Structure 1
Amino acid sequence: MNLKWRSVAFQIWALPLFAITPFCAARTVSFQDFSSTAGLILQANAASANGHLRLTPAIAGRGLGGAWLETKQPVKNGFETTFQIQITEKYSSGGDGMAFVIQGGAKPGVGLTGGELGFGGITNQFAVHFKNYHWGDHPTDGRYDEIAVLAASSPTEPLRDAPENFIGSVSRRIDYSDGAVHTVKILYVPGNLQVFLDDLANPLMTVYVNLAKLMNLDEGRAWVGFTGSGGADWQNQDVVSWSFSSNDPAPRLSGVTAPLDSNNAPGLTLPHRLFSTPSLSMPETTPLSVDHAFGYSVPPGIELAYQIEASTNLVSWAPLTNRTFYFRDHDSTNSAIRFYRFVPK
C-alpha cells in the first residue's frame, strides 16, 4: 500500500532472522601474526610492529595506512573473515578509527585521513568501519565506539564515511578501543552480511547487502584489506591476526533453500540503493533482526516527506533522528519490542 495513505509500523525482534552455515571447500588466507608481511600490499604508514599489522602508529602526522592481500579475492559468492584488532596509546581520546574494506578498482588504494578512516573518497568500494572518534558528526558527544556497514549509492560515487552511507550501525554499548584485543568476524552470503564482535556465536548486526549490486567486481573478485587513519588525535591501530575465506559456490543460509534475492528481502532493512519500490505492505509488521543495532535504512524518498517515530506500546510515540535514507534509535535495545511509523511532515 502506498505510504501516502497510511503510516507504517514494523516490529523489532531481539533474535536474528537466520544463521549462516559454515563454509565448505573454502579458499583461506591466514595470518596468525604479522611478524612477516609477505603476501600483503602495505600503503602509507602501515607496517609490522611487534608482530602486529599496525595501520597507523600513535605518532602525530602519520595517521594514514592501508594493507591488502596481494591478489584480488573472490567475494561475489560469499566470504568469511575473522580478525583481531587492538587500539592502544591513545592521544587524548584517540582517533579516528579503522575499517575492513573491499575495493573493486584496478589497484587498491588509501583515501582521506581523519574521520574518513583511510578509505573515504574512493569509488567502487564497501566498508565495515570501527570508529571511536566522531567529532565532526557529533560535536557535543563525539567520543564513543561504533561499528557501521557502509556503501555508496553507486559504484561510481566516492564512498565517504558519513551516516547517509550507513546500511546499519551499532554504537554506545560496545567498547573495542579499551586497549584489549578484540575479535571480529564478518560473514557474507549474497544478500546478507553479519558482523560479530567477541561473541562469535551471536551476531552484533545483521544487514542486507548484495556486493554484486553495490560494486563493479572483477569477475566476482576484489581487493580485501584494512585502512586506518587519525587526525588531531591519534592511536596505534593494530590488526593482530587475520583469516579470510572465500567460497564458490555460495554458502546457504540456515533454513533457506537459496541465497536471498535482495529485491525480495524485507524492505526496511535494505539500503536505499537496493530498493525496487518505495511502497510497503500493510497491515503486516516487518520483523527485523536488530542484534543491538541502533541504525536502520529506509526506502528512498521517505525521509523527505515523513517523520519517523518510535513506540514500545503503539500508544505513545517519540520522534527519531532522521537522516537521509537512514535513522537512528538510541533506545532500541532498552526494550524487547520497538514499533516504528512514518508520519507525514
Structure 2
Amino acid sequence: MNSTTLQALLAGVLLSVGSFGQSFTFMDFSASNGITLVGDAAFSPTSLFLTTGNSLETSAAWFTMPLGVVTGFDTQFDFQLFHDPAGLPAEGFAFVLQNAPEGASALGAGQSNLGYGGSANGIPNSLVIEVDTVMQPGLGDSSSNEISVHTAGPNPNLAAETVSVGRVTPSILMADGQPHTLRVVYVPGTLDIYLDALPQPVLSIPYDFGTGGTWSNSLPVPGLDLFEQTSLRVGFTGATSTIPNAVATEILQWSWTSTGGPAACFAGTVGASAGMPESVLTVNGDDGGFLRRVQVPTFQPLSLEIAQPSTMTAPSAFLVFGYAGEADGSHAISLPIGDFCFPAAVPFSPPGSYLIANSFGIPAPALVPSTLAPWNLLLTGGFPFETTATYQAVIQDFTAPFGLAISNAVIVDFVTAPPPVIQDVFPRSPAPGDLVTLIGEGFLTNYQITVDGIAVSPVLVSDGYVVFVYPPGVSCDAAVTVVRPDGQSASTTINPTPVITSVLSPSGSAQGGQTVILQGMDFVEGSTVTIGGVPAAVVSLTEFAVVVTTPPGTPGPAPIVLTTPYGCTVTETYTYL
C-alpha cells in the first residue's frame, strides 16, 4: 500500500461513538458469523434452530468470542417452542454462560439434561437459565413450565434442581408455539430474568460470578472461574425426547451488551476476518484483559509491544499512536478499516494524540524509530509521574480490507505503587562477603540498597526478595535500606547487638568450672564470652542461647561480656562466691 492511500485512510473525521462494552444484535440469523453450532443445531434462512422436533436431538450454539460479564450485562432473545399436540414438548432449552475447557464446542448430555447437564459430561464452570417444558419428578422439577437457574460452580452442571439457585413457574405458558421474549440482566450481585412484557422480573436471584450464590437447600455454591477473570462464553443448548414427545426450539433474535466495560473499538479488527479479533498491542506483556486496562508503577520499566498478526506470514508494518488520557470511545475515528478509539491522523496528529512509531515509512514524524512487527519499545526508567495514556495501532493484515487493520487499544494508568515492606533479613548477622536476602514486598525495580550508608548492588532480584553481598566495615545495629526512585523506602536492622534476657545460674564458686546459660537473641557463631575479663569456655551456642563454663575469679560481682565476631557486645553480671 502506498503512503498516499494510507494517509487518506487515516485522515479521519471525529465521530460520536456511543456503544460501550461488547455488544451485538442478531435481528435474524441470516448473517450468522461469530456463532459456532454443535450437535444438531442448525440455521434456517432467518433463525437458529436448536432442535427441529426430531427424536433425541442434542445441540448447542455459542457466540464464539468470550464476552465480559464481571461488570454486568443485558441480553435478550426471542424464542418459539413447537411440538406435536399428540405428545409433550420434551425436553426444553437453556441459556448458558460457561468457561469450560471445550470452549465453543462444549455440549452436555441430552434429553432431560437439555444439552448442558449430566453427572459425567455436564458443562463445568457454568451458569444455566433453563426453560424446562416437561416435569421430571426425579429431578425435583416443580412444573412443566419452569424457569430455573442452575450452577455447580466450577464442577459439571446438573439438570437436578438440587443445584438450582432460584426457580419460578411463570403465569405465561412458554411452549405454546408463540414467540416469547426472555431478558436476562446482571448487575454484580443480582441476576434478574424478565419474560415477555411483564414489567417486573419473574425471577430475581442474589448471585455474583465471583462469590457465587446459594442453592435451594440453603448451602453455598461458589462462583465461576472466569476467562481472564472477566468473561464467559455465552449461548444456548437444547435437547428433545422421542417423537411425538419432541419439541422444536427456534431462536428468532438475540442481542447482548456487556455493561460497564470499554468501548467496542478497544477490541480492534486484527484477525477479525479469520474469527474473533486478536490482541497484538500489549504493555509489559498484558493486553489489559476485558477492561483493556493495565497499571504500571511510576519509575518502573515500560515495554510497549506490537506483535505480528497471526494472519501474517511476514513481519508487518505499523503505526502506533498514543493519547494523553483515557480514551473512552466517545470521540472515536470511524475508518473503512474499523474504529480507532481516539483522534489520530498522519502526517500530523490532533491535539492530545501523538505518533509513537512509524514503520510504514510514510512522511510522518514519530517519537522513536522502529522496525517491522514484532517490535517493542522499552523505557527502563518508566514514567516519573502519575498519568494515564491510551495506545492503539494501525497494522498490516492482508486478510483485512485494504490490507490494514486496527489493533486492540490499551489504557495504561501510571500509578504510585504502595511503599516497599521488608519483612525479614537473613542472615541477620552476616560476615563480610556473605549473601544477604531481604524478604518483603513492593521492591519493584530501579531501587537502591544501602547498608550502613554503603551502596550495594543486588545479585538476585524480584518483587518479593533481594539478594546482595554484605560489605565489610558495617557497624552494629546498622540500617539496611531499600529506596525506590519514587522516593518511598523501607529499612530494617542488620548486624544487631545481641540481647541477654536472662542468666541461668548467675552465681557460683570462685574456683570456676560452673555452667552458666545466657538466654536471649541474636547470638552469633564465633562469639566470645569473658567473665571478669577472663575468657570463659563456650560449650554450645545457638541464636537464642549460649552455654559457657566459668573461669576462676575473685569473690564478688564480675561483668559477663559477650562479643560477636563483628564487634557487637552485650554485658550482664555474674557473682563469684
- Residues 142-153 of structure 1 aligned to structure 2 (within 5 Å): 144-152=144-152
1:306-342 CA-to-partner distances (Å, cap 9, x unmatched) read: xxxxxxxxxxxxxxxxxxxxxxxxxxxxxxxxxxxxx
Aligned 8 A contact 2:50 2:59 in 1: yes
State the match for 1:117 in structure 2.
114
1:218 to 2:227 alignment: yes
Q: Secondary structure at the match of 2:207?
A: coil
State the match for 1:335 in structure 2.
none
State the match for 2:79 in structure 1.
85
Structure 2: tracts of 5 or more residues without a match: 1-17, 212-222, 263-577
Aligned 8 A contact 1:146 1:174 in 2: no
Write the distance in 2 (CA, Å) between the matches of 1:99 and 1:26. Answer: 24
State the match for 2:164 in structure 1.
166
Deviation at 1:199, TM superposition (A): 2.0
Q: Quick check: 167-176 or 182-191, which moved more?
A: 167-176
Deviation at 1:138, TM superposition (A): 7.2
Write the distance in 2 (CA, Å) between the matches of 1:172 and 1:27. Answer: 30
Q: Which amino acid aligns with 2:83?
A: E
Per the normalisation by structure 2, the TM-score is 0.37
1:230-264 CA-to-partner distances (Å, cap 9, x unmatched) read: 123211101110001102359xxxxxxxxxxxxxx
Structure 2 counterpart of 1:25, from 13, 20, 28 = 20
State the match for 1:286 in structure 2.
none
Aligned 8 A contact 1:133 1:142 in 2: no
Write the distance in 1 (CA, Å) between the matches of 2:171 and 2:138. Answer: 18
1:57-92 CA-to-partner distances (Å, cap 9, x unmatched) read: 11113x111101111111111100010010013360
How many corresponding residue pairs?
A: 224
Structure 1 counterpart of 2:61, from 60, 64, 67 = 67
Aligned 8 A contact 2:47 2:252 in 1: yes
Write the distance in 2 (CA, Å) between the matches of 1:173 and 1:30. Answer: 28
Write the distance in 2 (CA, Å) between the matches of 1:65 and 1:49. Answer: 15
Q: Which amino acid aligns with 1:137?
A: G
Structure 2 counterpart of 1:236, from 248, 251, 257 = 248
State the match for 1:183 in structure 2.
181
Aligned 8 A contact 2:83 2:247 in 1: yes
Q: Secondary structure at the match of 1:208?
A: strand
User: Residue 138 and residue 209 in structure 1: after superposition, are their counterparts in 2 closer, same or farther (change >3 A)?
Assistant: closer
Deviation at 1:185, TM superposition (A): 0.5
State the match for 1:274 in structure 2.
none
Give me the identity figure in percent. 29
Deviation at 1:221, TM superposition (A): 1.0
Once superposed, what is the RMSD of the aligned Cα atoms?
Answer: 2.2
Q: Secondary structure at the match of 1:128?
A: strand
Q: Secondary structure at the match of 1:137?
A: helix
Q: Which amino acid aligns with 1:217?
A: L
Q: Which has the higher contact order (CA 8 A, sep 6+)?
A: 1
User: Residue 171 and residue 143 in structure 1: after superposition, are their counterparts in 2 closer, same or farther (change >3 A)?
Assistant: closer
Deviation at 1:204, TM superposition (A): 0.8
Q: Which amino acid aligns with 2:256?
A: F
State the match for 1:127 in structure 2.
128
State the match for 1:318 in structure 2.
none
State the match for 2:50 in structure 1.
55
Q: Secondary structure at the match of 1:211?
A: coil
Write the distance in 2 (CA, Å) between the matches of 1:137 and 1:29. Answer: 39
Q: Secondary structure at the match of 1:115?
A: helix
